[in-house]
Amino acid sequence: MPATYHLSHLRTLESEAVHVMREVAAEFERPVLLFSGGKDSIVLLRLAEKAFRPAPFPFAVMHIDTGHNFPEAIEFRDRRLAELGERLIIASVEDSISSGRAVDEIGPRASRNGLQTVTLLDAIAEHGFDAAFGGARRDEERARAKERILSFRDEFGQWEPQRQRPEVWSLYNGRIRRGEHARVFPISNWTELDVWQYIAEEGLEVPSIYFAHDREVFTRDGMLYAVSPFVELIDGERAFSASVRYRTVGDMSCTGAVESRAATLEEVVAEIAATELTERGQTRADDRVTEAAMEDRKRQGYF
């Protein structure tokens, strides 16, 4: 017998996320959508279409460009935004460095991951944004598992995990003072598998680096990194060619690849369903520094 008026779990998550986006658009003056070119922010763009079409988005889209991006991701970014006909703001870490707001790390393990925070907070202040949509999910990491969907940031952009506002039912408190802002995570309750399943159901395009391809890589701390102008090989590290794909799209200097032959969406989903490692644990060096690496970065204003 047919179950009456039943919405699948994916459509339930979608509907909740659309609700969040509309609430924020209505209650804030200048929201912005942070777009990295990765799968989660690709889903965010689709959700924004679901929430606001046929009108244009009631906010701009912003990319924090570390200058160490995968060229495939940048190419995809520009193409996707052009297709959507939406405005793209690029805030560049390079500019923060040349203006002296940020200092590039040096040495073979240098990463611009931490510097993004400076550029992000500066851009938020410069444009007067009072809410920033991000694609973070609670299943990614234990500090994120603790964060509210609408997460308050003080005038220094800091997250204070011990003083989060209660968030009951789907009633979001969007009141802030000038200079403060909110980070908004519409897909908080999605898992990595949900994201891929949604991409498949919606037929969304993703950058080619998510699928298996041949690449020059080297092994460091048990992870595979791409050989690129942004990293130096250190003693004993040797470049070789392998079939790899990426689970996350971050900075080339700190995002690891996984060896894989998954060349289609279905294969990627099947691979993820079978994996024994978390997305960030497998591919992100930035989370490995200390037990509370993510919490510390979030407190400072990171994504």
Partner 1 sequence: MSTRGSTSGVVANGNGDSAADDGKDAGLASEGAREMFKRLTDRPADLLRFATAGSVDDGKSTLIGRLLYDSKQVFSDQLAHVEEASQRRGQDFLDLSLLTDGLRAEREQGITIDVAYRYFATAQRRFIIADTPGHEQYTRNMVTGASTADLAIVLVDARKGMVAQSKRHAFISALLGIPHVVVCVNKMDLVDFDEAVFAAIVEDFDRFAARLELPDVTFIPISALLGDNVVDRSDAMPWYQGPPLLYHLEHVHIASDRNLIDVRFPVQWVIRPPSTSVADYRAYAGQVAGGVLRPGDEVLVLPSGQHTTIAAIDTLDGPVQEAFPPMSVALRLADDIDVSRGSTIVRPHNQPTVANKLECLVCWMSEQALSPGRRYLVKQTTRTVMLGAADVRYRIDVETLHRDETARTLELNDLGRVHLELSSPLVFDSYRRNRLTGSLIILDEATNETVAAGVILDTEVEEPGGEPKHERSPNVRWQGSRMTRARRWTSLGHGGATLWFTGLPGAGKSTIAAAVEERLIEARQPAFLLDGDNLRHGLNGDLGFDDQARSENVRRTAHVARLLAESGTVALVSLVSPFAADRQAAAALHSADDLEFIEIFVDAPLALCEERDPKGLYARARSGELAGLTGIGSPYEAPSTPDLVLGTCDETVEREVERVLELLAARGLIAG
The residues in 42-101 that bind partner 1, with binding defined as CB under 8 A, are 49-56
Using rule CB under 8 A, residue 276 touches partner 1: yes
Q: Return the range that interacts with partner 1 (CB under 8 A); candidates 13-21, 61-69, 119-127, 227-235.
A: 13-21
Whole-number minimum distance, CB 98 to partner 1, in Å? 35
Quickly list DSSP for the chain. Answer: -PPTT---HHHHHHHHHHHHHHHHHHH-SSEEEE--SSHHHHHHHHHHHHHHTTSPPSSEEEEEE-S---HHHHHHHHHHHHHHT--EEEEEHHHHHHTTSS----STT--STTHHHHHHHHHHHHHT-SEEE----TTS-TTGGG--SEEEE-TT----GGGPPP--TT-------TT-EEEE-TTTT--HHHHHHHHHHHT----GGGS-EEEEEEEETTEEEE--TT----TT---EEEEEEESS---TTTB-EEE----SHHHHHHHHHH-SS-HHHHHBGGGSSSTTHHHHHHHHT--
Using rule CB under 8 A, residue 199 touches partner 1: no
Binding mask 235-274 for partner 1 (x = CB under 8 A): -----xxxx--------------xxxxxxx-xx-xxx-xx
Whole-number minimum distance, CB 114 to partner 1, in Å? 18
In this chain, which of 189, 208, 228, 300 binds partner 1, going by CB under 8 A?
189
Which among 44, 37, 24 has a CA at the least distance from the CA of 66? 37
In this chain, which of 18, 60, 74, 110 binds partner 1, going by CB under 8 A?
18
Whole-number minimum distance, CB 290 to partner 1, in Å? 9
Instruction: Scan residues 137-166 and list those touching partner 1 (CB under 8 A).
Output: 138-139, 141-143, 145-146, 148, 161-162, 164-166
Please give the backbone phi and psi of residue 44, each rounded to the nearest 5 degrees, phi first: -60, -40
Using rule CB under 8 A, residue 228 touches partner 1: no
Q: Return the range that interacts with partner 1 (CB under 8 A); candidates 31-39, 114-122, 123-131, 194-202.
A: 194-202
Whole-number minimum distance, CB 274 to partner 1, in Å? 6
**Of the two residues 54 and 229, which places its CB atom closer to partner 1 in the complex?**
54
Using rule CB under 8 A, residue 203 touches partner 1: no
Using rule CB under 8 A, residue 289 touches partner 1: no
- Omega before 207 cis (within 30°)? no
**Of the two residues 52 and 110, which places its CB atom closer to partner 1 in the complex?**
52
Amino acid of residue 193: L
Using rule CB under 8 A, residue 104 touches partner 1: no
In this chain, which of 40, 65, 251, 295 binds partner 1, going by CB under 8 A?
295
**Sign of dihedral through CA atoms 111, 100, 65, 68?**
negative
Whole-number minimum distance, CB 259 to partner 1, in Å? 5
Altogether, the residues listed in the chain come to a count of 303
In this chain, which of 88, 90, 176, 204 binds partner 1, going by CB under 8 A?
176
Using rule CB under 8 A, residue 1 touches partner 1: yes
Query: Under a CB-based contact definition with an 8 Å cutoff, are residues 286 and 296 in contact?
Result: no
Whole-number minimum distance, CB 278 to partner 1, in Å? 5
Using rule CB under 8 A, residue 300 touches partner 1: no
